[in-house]
Structure formats: C-alpha cells, structure tokens
Amino acid sequence: MTATQQSPTAAGSGANASESFKASAASLDIADTPPERVAAIVTAVLQGVHGAIKDHDVSYPEFQAAKAWLMRVGDGGEWPLFMDVFVEHAVEEQVAQSQQGTKGSILGPYYLPGQARLSSSCRLPRRDDEQGTPLVLAGQVRDVAGTPLAGAEVDLWQADADGYYSGFAPHVPDGNLRGVVVTNAEGRFEIDTIQPAPYQIPHDGPTGQLIEAAGWHPWRPAHLHIQVRADGHRPITTQLYFAGGEWLDSDVAEAVKPELVIDPQDDGTGTRRSTYDFELEPQPEA
C-alpha cells in the first residue's frame, strides 16, 4: 500500500454510508407501518433479547458493556455497516420467498446512486493505471417468461484489486468501477472491468470490536454488486461471486448463494470472461 492508499476508517465509511442511506430512505417513515405490526415485530425482537439474557445468564457488567457498545455504534455512524453485515441477509432471504426471477443478495453499505450511464457494450469507468486481472461479464436481461428487456439498467459497483470502493476510500476517484449499463434491443450487455479483491469490512470501530471479541473474522469474498432495473418489473439487487475464491464459505455478511457463483475462464489473452443472465418478474400492482 502506498502512502496515498489509506484504508477507509469505520467512522468514515459509516458517515458516507449513513448519508447515502438517509438520502435514499428520505421518504421512509415508521409511521407508515400499522401500529399493531410495529408492536408485534418490536415485541418479538425484545423477547429474543430477553430470552438471550435468560439463556446465557447475562450479568449487569455485561449489560452495561453492551449498552456502551450500542452507543459507540451510533456515535460512530456505524449502524448502516452493522445492519448491512449482520442483519440484511436475513431480511433479503425472507422477502425472496415470495419473489420470482434471479436470486438476490444484500445491497450492502457501498451503493451510490447517480452513476454514469453506459452503452450495452462498455468499459466500466476506471483509472488509467487500474490494476487487476481484466474481466468481462456478458449476459442478457429477460422477464420470467423469457422475453428480452431492451433498455434495462444493469447498475454495477465493485471494489478494486486492493479491495477499495470509490466514494469510501480517499485515494480512489469518485465513480471508479461504477456505472449503469443500458441493455441493447435484445436485452444484452457486455461489461469490461477488472476482477475485484476480497476485502475486510471496516473494523477499527465498534463493529470491529464486536467481531474481535466474538473471535470472528471481518472478510467478505470478492464480488460484483449488481442491481438490475426495467420499467414495469421488480428490481433485483444481487452479488456475483467467484468460484474458488477465498472466504466463500465463511462470508462475514452471510450473503453467498450457490446460484450467484460464477467461474470466469481465461480467453487466451489474459482476460477472464463469464456470462450471467438476469430474469425480472413483473412489478406487483399497488
């Protein structure tokens, strides 16, 4: 790592993720959920906490330490990080039970809207000296009946070959390895990028303290984040992982699914290529 390559701190990443989430969730309000549902969910969560206290004979010092830790998570702006790593996968799996189409995965804290729109066959924005193994991801976006979806958006964001995301690492230019690819008349796309690296979630703050105290590790396997959108269809947020990669079987975010593991092959020029198609179901009527 050079002097200009500084790992993003948990506080810095948390602040960026918090601001991004607040902007995207500005219209969300707990008041939009019926009181009886709020009461049922909150009661169930509290009963789970009460049960853990009883089952594990939690002491007052342990309770006070937990309370202090929760306060540090809030003060450090790490709630998006903590929730995305340890909770989101359970919500995604539950919601997916009633959905058709391509398997989804977690959004995570590193999504940034408003990225450059690119043609169906494109090179993802990157630095002139971007390091990493060349990777081409091609495929088609269809509906669940097999009809190609022209003009669909394949919104892709990823870490670089050192595991850093633009917008969250100070040495990576804004918009690096991010873009919204628009499919052609046959719903096809081909994206020229680089293979990302596995990375550790920011762990110098309270989330990292919890991971260390529990004897866990902070690693995520290498992956591409993708959100696929098309008019009249339910968007899919997912991640594509790489066969044989490190941490596939012990992802700290528990987000890996067998259906989302690709196996790019070298085309003889040093570029690895893989194909993955996406299927979207019709948007339910309101």
pTM attached to this predicted model: 0.85
Average pLDDT of the residues in 42-48 = 94
Over residues 267-279, the mean pLDDT reads 97
DSSP run (H or E) holding 127: none
pLDDT (tens digit per residue) in 229-254:
999 999 999 999 999 999 999 999 99
Task: Give the model's pLDDT for residue 80.
Answer: 85
The predicted structure's pLDDT at residue 2: 44
What b-and-e string marks burial along 1-23, b requiring 16 or more CB atoms within 10 Å of the CB?
A: eeeeeebbbbbbbbbbbbebbee
Q: How far is CA 38 from CA 10, 80, 92, in A?
A: 31, 21, 19
Q: Output the furthest CA–CA distance in the chain (Å, rounded).
A: 64
A 10 A CB-CB count for 130 gives: 15
What is the model's pLDDT at position 30? 66
CATH topology of domain 10-286: Protocatechuate 3,4-Dioxygenase, subunit A (2.60.130)
Q: Domain ranges for the chain, please list them.
A: 10-286
Whether 4 and 164 have beta carbons less than 8 Å apart is answered as no
98 versus 35: which is more confidently predicted?
A: 35
Q: Which residues pair with 148 in a beta bridge?
A: 142
Tell me if residue 182 falls in helix, strand or coil: strand
* Tokens representing residue 87 in the block: 């909770």
